[in-house]
Amino acid sequence: MKRVLRWAGVLLVILITVAAVGALITVVASNRAVDQRVAVVPPFPVLGHGSVERGKHLYTAVSDCIGCHGSDGGGGPFVTDPAMAMLYAPNLTRGPGGVGATYSDADFDRAIRRGIRADGTRLIIMPSWSYAAMSDSDAASVIAYIRTFAPVDRATPRVRLGPVGRVFIVTNKLRMDAVRIADEGAPPSPPPPMMQVEYGKYLTRIGGCMSCHGTHLSGGHLAGPPDVPPASNLTPQGIGTWSAPMFMITLTKGRDPNGHELHPFMPWRTIRNMDDIELEAIYDYLKSLPPRDTGTG
């Protein structure tokens, strides 16, 4: 009996040691991934002067920048799960704790469309893969609007990863968009607005729809915490016989044709501020897609 207990004790010590070493490796690897500085990436071509009005529309209605950085641009906490992470959206203004006073337009552009901070580290949960397709004109407009924010005194600490977040980083379950952009290369040039279906595709990409519903928009559980239901299938297999008015009412009222309330994770309160031309373009693009079973990409 004593011999069994002795071996059990040895086994327990071994298991504790292995767990401790595994935890240490996870901490070191996740810290390295977060703090790693990537090679200096040149910004996109000189953007020129953007339209503040267009930038405000993109920030508040299309690309949902307001959802994380707020209406004042001051940022703040948006992931507050100690097991996952304590993550703050940066303060974009010129106020204390903000980056606006030190960031050049090229720095902002690199952060928005590349997912890389001015210091060369990669942003976490910044949807730069979506914004990588943004036209030079639209990127310039977003930056021009950001420049209009009044200074906000709000410090936004760097990310503090929890144990689950560290595991997700190390196992590539939480992939930084800067890596995905580098792997996939530059997206195709955006079309002009008069090309209805192509413009709808453009808006679907820079609006972040593909981040949650998949690149083929067939839905499934692709983003968000475990308690968030799978994203809907937006291909004709999913939206079926919805008319354009049904689709637009769903996105502006937060209720589908069957009377079901949209989950709060779905940013319909931002999307409802798109204009009718934009919503119709998105609808036309979705109807042009080949039908796909839910969760197939």
Over residues 226-247, the pLDDT tens digits come to 667 888 999 999 888 899 999 9
Q: What is the mean pLDDT of the chain?
A: 83
Give the Cα separation of 63 and 241 in Å (integer): 27
- When mean pLDDT is compared across 140-154, 161-175, 254-268, the lowest value belongs to 161-175
Specify the pTM: 0.83
Per-residue pLDDT at 154 exceeds 60: yes
Per-residue pLDDT at 54 exceeds 90: yes
- pLDDT score of 24: 46
- pLDDT score of 108: 95
- pLDDT score of 39: 58
Q: What is the mean pLDDT of residues 182-206?
A: 81
Please give the residue that has the higher pLDDT: either 228 or 67: 67
With vertex at residue 142, the alpha carbon angle to CA 66 and CA 253, rounded to the nearest 5 degrees, is: 40
With vertex at residue 173, the alpha carbon angle to CA 188 and CA 208, rounded to the nearest 5 degrees, is: 40
- pLDDT score of 150: 97
Per-residue pLDDT at 86 exceeds 60: yes
Cα dihedral sign for 77, 81, 86, 87? negative
Q: What is the mean pLDDT of residues 113-133?
A: 91
Question: Can you list the positions of beta strands (E) in 162-281?
Answer: none
Percent of the chain with pLDDT over 70: 78
Give the Cα separation of 293 and 25 in Å (integer): 39
Question: Can you list the positions of beta strands (E) in the chain?
Answer: 76-81, 85-89, 160-161
The label of the residue with tokens 């931002």 reads: 270
- pLDDT score of 162: 75
- At position 257, the amino acid (one-letter code) is P
Helix axes 196-206, 276-288, angle to 10 degrees: 100
Burial label, 24 (beta-carbon count in 10 A; 0-12, 13-18, 19+): exposed
Tens-place pLDDT, residues 197-219: 999 999 999 999 998 899 999 98
- pLDDT score of 4: 57
- pLDDT score of 263: 87
Q: What is the mean pLDDT of residues 264-274?
A: 91
Residue 224: band (very low, low, confident or very high) from pLDDT cuts 50, 70, 90: low
- pLDDT score of 49: 76
Q: Which two tokens mark 132?
A: 């990588």
Give the Cα separation of 62 and 76 in Å (integer): 20
Per-residue pLDDT at 35 exceeds 50: yes
Per-residue pLDDT at 270 exceeds 70: yes
